[in-house]
Amino acid sequence: MENIIKMVVSIDQKANDIMKQTEEYLETREKDIKEKIKTMRSEIMDNTKNEAQSLYESIVKEADEEAKKVESKTKKECTDIENKFTKIKEILEKQLFSKIFS
């Protein structure tokens, strides 16, 4: 009978030890998993930030190129208008001079 009680106590102690080991293992695994999730979140945020920055830079570059095209076109149009004005001005000056002194 005493042996049976010792066996039961021994089995109970082993069960407690196994439960403690299992709890410690689960806590360690949970901590590791949470750390991995944190690292993954950080990596995803960094990647997203980098992609957003790249997209922003691409949009700004396109806008700059478009602005340069518009500026170039506008300068050409201004030059054309100035040239046309100069031609007309000369003609008008001659006509005016002619009318005044005729």
Q: What are 8's two structure tokens? A: 């039961």
- Is pTM beyond 0.85? Reply is no
**pLDDT 10s per residue in the chain (102 long)?**
888 888 888 898 999 999 999 999 999 999 999 999 999 999 999 999 999 999 999 999 999 999 999 999 999 999 999 999 988 988 888 888 888 876
Distance between CA atoms of residues 2 and 72, nearest Å: 104
pLDDT at 61: 97
Angle at alpha carbon of residue 40, lines to 38 and 41, rounded to 5° = 65
Residue 4: per-residue pLDDT:
83
- How far is the C-alpha of 46 from the C-alpha of 16, rounded, in Å? 45
